[in-house]
Structure 1
Amino acid sequence: MRFLLKLLATGQPRKLGAAEQWTVHGIGVATGLLLLAIAFGWYVKREIALFLFLGAVLALAFLTTTGNPARPTGRSWPALGLAALSLIACGYFVVMQPVHELRLPMIDELSGADIAASIVLVALVMEATRRCIGMILVVLVTGFLAYAVFGDRLGGSFAHRGFSAQEIVDHLVFSTNGLFGPALEVAAFLVFVFVVFGSLLDRVGGADFFYDVANSMVGRQVGGASKVAVVSTGLYGSISGSPTADVVTTGSFSIPLMIKTGMSRTHAGAIESAASAGGGLLPPIMGSAAFLMTDFTGIPYATIALAALLPALLFYQSVFLAVHFKAHRDGMKPMSEAPPPSLLAILQRNWAYLVPIGLLVWGVLSLNRPAFAGAIAVAALLPAALWRDRSPRQLLRTIFFGLSDGMRGMIGVGVACAIAGLVVGTLSMTDLTGKISSGLFHMAGGSPLLTIIVAAFVIIVLGMGMPTAAVYALSAVLAAPALITLGLEVLPAHLFIVYIASMSAITPPVAVAAFAAASIAKANPVSIALVACRIAMVAFILPFVFMYQPALLLIGTGWEIVLAAGAAALGVLALNAAIEGYYIARLNLPKRCLLFAAGIALFLPLEAAHIAGASLLAAVTAWLRIARGTGNTLPEPAKAAAPPL
């Protein structure tokens, strides 16, 4: 059993010596400069850039990650050999690119060296996936590859015509529908720019800036530490777009702060995890899955970002209210009696941070060239860094290590997109996508609601331990066609997948955000994930709501959008109050049931249900206010004294 757990577990970060560190920095900075130059408009052949990017990602994966948690974290000669082999294999494709460019795919024969290099590269991607993401995804991909090889021997509708080894290699490695397909292209040419922007912003004090802004807004409220965590995590997550990076960055100071103010370790980690799960949902940067969505659907990123705005704000309203009601229910104090600096003072002192962020938002929404917008924002960060440190030498250090950090941050995303490309290639080659979509539809008996529920379940299962980008890439080809078959529009169907894929970051048993928070909070990761799901419970309902109310995605008239947003906001309020057991005063079971019923009614896509839910919420509100005025409420707990900071 212990051997099996070790086999399924991912590796851990290596302790690099000086030589390995500079090798990692060198690969990261060289690749980062190339990708930034491409984002600015410098022309490099797509194939060559992707070969170099994948080689760098694989080499960094082997250099920085052990084979499993039990392996020594020091120098490993096999890992060095795998890193070198990755560079050699991808280097082969770079050198042979002029030759391969002239051949006719699926017609001209591949040489023995081509097939050997392809098999080695696929094996390296699988091993890097095992180390960085886990064995579960490797087993899943192996199953798809086995289907491509042996699927012709199956009976019934799931059989295919059969493929030779050369046809499989040609489709998976030498076409634009496999390993070097859209998923890896988006990671290299789009996601990387925003990851670098986030790492540079962090190095010039961006995380501290977001924390100060959050502290000035909510620091003196009841449960201020947990509210600061939610707000600062949301602000930083809107730029980083990565739940795990969000936890590691903002959680490093928000989790200890919550613990110091009386929050349990498990709950502190859960609040940070739940808030970080929304990082891939909140514009202007919604994470790698949203960028993949532009490629899968052809919908401009600006349209996706605008459509996602209301659901993302409702998500953070839900998490904030859950924290707010719990703080009042438990009698928590503000984190500090001293007034924090005013928001105006913070903005006057740190106005330089607003320039690159403002340029980023403007570029993403106006230029319809997200990569170029990200590159402009990166360039705008450099004067801000120089203004902050007043040292050209420090600026060069910031650029150097920011690029290196950005490439290291791309390891998981790059590996996930590479392995997803293999799955997408297998599905397109064998037409398994249509068969699975048809199976999902028939499994639900043709019921739209049941089909959506089954699709959500499939996405959550796929998301166990996988990065959001990989979950979306797989779900977009497995579940999206079934949803679109129901008559749903492409935008709601794919945004539903992005939303559920982001929630998989906190879904047990393998919740990547919760595991990251556990290392900071020193608590059990599964317990953190369970509490995080409770905090974000209402957020799991929101995707189903906007599937039936597209006005929440800004699809419809202005009046329809206002009514849908208002009803959803009241529904979030009522459901969180019912779940946490507090609203104006502590709630007994009958009042919680009434609020729960009001919340469900407000989420239903019926005008009469909205009126009934709002009326019930208003009645409970009046009842509680009258009872509070007469003193006829449940006794409030004693205020929990906050330890001195």
Structure 2
Amino acid sequence: MFAKVVRTLAPGRARQLGKLENTVVSIIAVATTAFFLMLAFGIYVQSQYALNWFIGAILAVAFLTTTGNPDRPTGRSLFSWTAAIVSIAIPAYFTLMQPIYEMRLPMIDGLNLADQIAGVALILLVLEATRRCIGMTLVAVVLIFLLYGVFGHLLTGPFWHRELSLEDMLYQIVFTTNGLFGPALSVAALLVFAFVAFGTVLDAAGGGDFFFDVANGLVGKQVGGPAKVAVVSSGLYGSISGSPTSDVVTTGSFTIPLMIRTGLTPTYAAAVEATASTGGALLPPVMGTAAFLMSDFTGIPYSTIIISAIVPALLYYLSVFLAVHLRARADNLAPSATSSTKNIVTVLRHSWYYLIPIFILIWYVMTIDRPAFSAALALATLVPILFVRLKRPVAVGKALIDAFDDTTRRMTGIGVACAVAGLVVGTLAMTDLTGKISTALFVLAQGNALLTLIIATIIVIVLGMGMPTPAVYALASVLAAPALLALDIPLLPAHLFIVYFASMSAITPPVAVAAFAAGTIANANPMVIAVQCCRLAIVAFIIPYIFIYNTGVLMIGAPANIAFSIVTATAGVVALVFAQEGFVSKPIGAVTRLALTALGLALLAGESLLALLLGR
């Protein structure tokens, strides 16, 4: 009985869309992508109107493309059609009422019955879409917070809050910019959308093939070439797409079978791909959704964030690359390149034009700090590349329409996650639970910085076991970040610390989406893959602690200190990987591995080692 209930509440599966459903979804998706690209180019539309469109489109697509649970038929569903129509009708109602809402006095003019019905219905639709697309775990977390908002006034002690009526809660959660329509949804719609569109069109223009050819030309002829190609190509592609799952599906379809054919086990091959793809969410110039949320939440310019993120991301990829190199040396694996493999010079000579949109993206992000416009402009430069690749205007038009369609479908999970995170953020704002939890964390850690960081890490990892990265960061940034800031940790390192661990949720069991995607390709157990991923990415769980105490690796400080920090951190990563793999030029013993571990940690911490140990 219990298993049946669990199965009923499990996430749905993709529908086999009929002609009618596919046409409706495609119309919504293409129109939505076109609309938000227009906004990215600078066409002005009041943000609330844009968010109304976004939430309506995302929910409608979610219901039409995802079944209620894994056992439901994948064909047409009356409930899904009804939910999709209501999902569009409610934001349309809000749009019509917006002029009236703008005249309303906050907390004085009440909500009418239609407003309340629409608000409750929208919350229920977001929760159901979350259950279908992400899972019951996230819904359960949100319900706990909502129930706290309803019944928290019955508690005693520090977690008591004033009694809130249904109207009070609806007003805060739905009719202000502090809840569902808050910063998380705004970032997804007005910023992330443009980058996802750029990545989708780049993929349609052959960008995935280009990155694979570049990686193969660089490292394909080395020992263990397939695994190294996976690391390099996934890093290059992931730095643009910002999506670990998309990266795994795109590059992993080439690299995972290639790794298996040259001697790696399916589990290890899938783990290499998933680990390398997850790092793309940490690697500039695009990074992932959490980085955009960080910029919006903190007010730190996105260009500043990506400059600070460069060295930690490169250290991450250095550790993964070196680990697969040592594994290849130990197992004496063959290169992947053949005599017909193009070298890097040949690849760039024939396909140099793929560098143009990437250069434009980086240049405009760094110089004008308008990320959405930069992504839209870079996307526009992909159109001539499509003409070079496909030749015929009709084929180019179809490729763009398909890419626009795919963009909104890819945004569904991100949009739903950001919407449901807004429900929690709104509840936190109403009840001041953020301050209470931060105080509790600080008291629990007794003011010890290291212990506070460890508790914050546990919070982020636990949240990451049931949530996608945007939701993890959105919640952890309001739950854990204030406690870190109370320790006088600077704003950028504190939030980047959370971004790192939130991004690691893609390979953290039990809900390791990147590992599941890789497991599908490799036909291997995703849980075993996720454990192997965590081993490969062990340095990623250490680096955030290092840049909290040693901000030189974030390019902060005097040039000499920055250079010293980068050199010692690089040496520390190398020592840790040697210790982890137990191999240098030959297998090494336990004592040597322990010594290398101690040396690596000391080099990473640098002059902050004493502060780290003392918790200051």
| TM-score, scaled to structure 2 | 0.97
* Partners of 1:329 and 1:581 within 8 A in 2: no
| Whole-angstrom CA distance in 1 between matches of 2:539 and 2:6 | 33
Look up the match of 2:585: 584
Look up the match of 1:258: 259
> Could you say what the CA RMSD is over the residues aligned between the two structures, in angstroms?
1.4
| Whole-angstrom CA distance in 2 between matches of 1:12 and 1:442 | 44
| Whole-angstrom CA distance in 2 between matches of 1:427 and 1:171 | 10
| Whole-angstrom CA distance in 2 between matches of 1:588 and 1:75 | 61
Alignment-mate amino acid for residue 324 of structure 1: H
Give the Å deviation of 1:447.
0.9
Alignment-mate amino acid for residue 556 of structure 1: G
Give the Å deviation of 1:583.
0.8
| Whole-angstrom CA distance in 1 between matches of 2:156 and 2:609 | 51
* Partners of 2:549 and 2:608 within 8 A in 1: no
Give the Å deviation of 1:33.
0.9
Give the Å deviation of 1:7.
4.4
4+ residue segments displaced more than 4 Å: none
Look up the match of 1:102: 103
| Whole-angstrom CA distance in 2 between matches of 1:8 and 1:235 | 37
Query: 1:583 aligns to what SS in structure 2?
Result: coil
| Whole-angstrom CA distance in 2 between matches of 1:401 and 1:12 | 21
Query: 2:606 aligns to what SS in structure 1?
Result: coil
Alignment-mate amino acid for residue 451 of structure 2: L
Look up the match of 1:295: 296
Look up the match of 2:614: none
Give the Å deviation of 1:496.
0.4
Q: Deviations over 1:65-100 (max 9, x none)?
A: 111222222222211111111111111111211221
Look up the match of 1:156: 157
Give the Å deviation of 1:293.
0.7
* Partners of 1:8 and 1:136 within 8 A in 2: no
* Partners of 2:184 and 2:422 within 8 A in 1: yes
| Whole-angstrom CA distance in 2 between matches of 1:369 and 1:135 | 36
| Whole-angstrom CA distance in 1 between matches of 2:520 and 2:583 | 31
Give the Å deviation of 1:445.
2.1
Alignment-mate amino acid for residue 293 of structure 2: L
| Whole-angstrom CA distance in 1 between matches of 2:333 and 2:303 | 41
| Whole-angstrom CA distance in 1 between matches of 2:485 and 2:190 | 28
Alignment of structure 1 residues 134-149 onto 2, 5 Å: 134-149=135-150
Look up the match of 2:115: 114
Query: Which deviates more, 236-245 or 252-261?
Result: 252-261
Query: Which deviates more, 90-99 or 185-194?
Result: 90-99
Alignment of structure 1 residues 471-510 onto 2, 5 Å: 471-510=472-511
Look up the match of 2:568: 567
| Whole-angstrom CA distance in 2 between matches of 1:28 and 1:585 | 55
| Whole-angstrom CA distance in 2 between matches of 1:251 and 1:7 | 31
* Partners of 1:105 and 1:174 within 8 A in 2: no
| Whole-angstrom CA distance in 2 between matches of 1:451 and 1:77 | 50
CA gap of 1:451–1:115, structure 2 versus 1, over 3 A, is same
Look up the match of 1:165: 166
Alignment-mate amino acid for residue 226 of structure 1: A
| Whole-angstrom CA distance in 1 between matches of 2:35 and 2:98 | 18
The answer to whether 1:62 aligns with 2:74 is: no
Alignment-mate amino acid for residue 133 of structure 1: I
The answer to whether 1:318 aligns with 2:350 is: no
Give the Å deviation of 1:594.
2.2
Alignment of structure 1 residues 318-467 onto 2, 5 Å: 318-338=319-339, 340-467=341-468
Query: Which deviates more, 75-84 or 270-279?
Result: 75-84
Q: Deviations over 1:267-315 (max 9, x none)?
A: 1111111111111110000111111111110000000010111000001
Query: Which deviates more, 207-216 or 159-168?
Result: 159-168
Alignment-mate amino acid for residue 362 of structure 2: V
| Whole-angstrom CA distance in 1 between matches of 2:136 and 2:309 | 32
CA gap of 1:607–1:179, structure 2 versus 1, over 3 A, is closer
Query: Which deviates more, 311-320 or 338-347?
Result: 338-347
The answer to whether 1:182 aligns with 2:183 is: yes
Query: 1:338 aligns to what SS in structure 2?
Result: coil
Look up the match of 1:615: none
Alignment-mate amino acid for residue 381 of structure 2: A
Look up the match of 1:15: 16
Pairs aligned (count)? 610
The answer to whether 1:558 aligns with 2:559 is: yes
Alignment-mate amino acid for residue 350 of structure 1: S
Alignment-mate amino acid for residue 208 of structure 1: D
The answer to whether 1:515 aligns with 2:513 is: no
| Whole-angstrom CA distance in 2 between matches of 1:174 and 1:429 | 13
Q: Deviations over 1:204-231 (max 9, x none)?
A: 1000000000000000111100100000
Alignment-mate amino acid for residue 509 of structure 1: P
| TM-score, scaled to structure 1 | 0.93
Give the Å deviation of 1:336.
3.6
CA gap of 1:608–1:301, structure 2 versus 1, over 3 A, is closer
| Whole-angstrom CA distance in 2 between matches of 1:162 and 1:543 | 40
| Whole-angstrom CA distance in 2 between matches of 1:32 and 1:68 | 28
* Partners of 1:28 and 1:403 within 8 A in 2: yes
CA gap of 1:365–1:73, structure 2 versus 1, over 3 A, is same
Query: 1:604 aligns to what SS in structure 2?
Result: helix
Look up the match of 1:46: 47
| Whole-angstrom CA distance in 2 between matches of 1:105 and 1:411 | 31
Query: 1:220 aligns to what SS in structure 2?
Result: coil
Look up the match of 1:200: 201
Q: Which runs of 5+ in 2 are unaligned?
A: 611-616
Indicate the percent of aligned positions where both proteins have the same amino acid: 55
* Partners of 1:35 and 1:188 within 8 A in 2: yes
Give the Å deviation of 1:202.
0.5
Query: 2:542 aligns to what SS in structure 1?
Result: helix
| Whole-angstrom CA distance in 2 between matches of 1:255 and 1:75 | 35
| Whole-angstrom CA distance in 1 between matches of 2:525 and 2:588 | 30
The answer to whether 1:597 aligns with 2:598 is: yes
Look up the match of 1:637: none
Look up the match of 1:631: none
| Whole-angstrom CA distance in 2 between matches of 1:450 and 1:422 | 29
Alignment-mate amino acid for residue 571 of structure 2: L
CA gap of 1:7–1:561, structure 2 versus 1, over 3 A, is farther
Query: 1:584 aligns to what SS in structure 2?
Result: coil
Give the Å deviation of 1:12.
1.3
Look up the match of 2:613: none
Look up the match of 2:238: 237
* Partners of 1:413 and 1:469 within 8 A in 2: yes
Query: Which deviates more, 222-231 or 390-399?
Result: 390-399
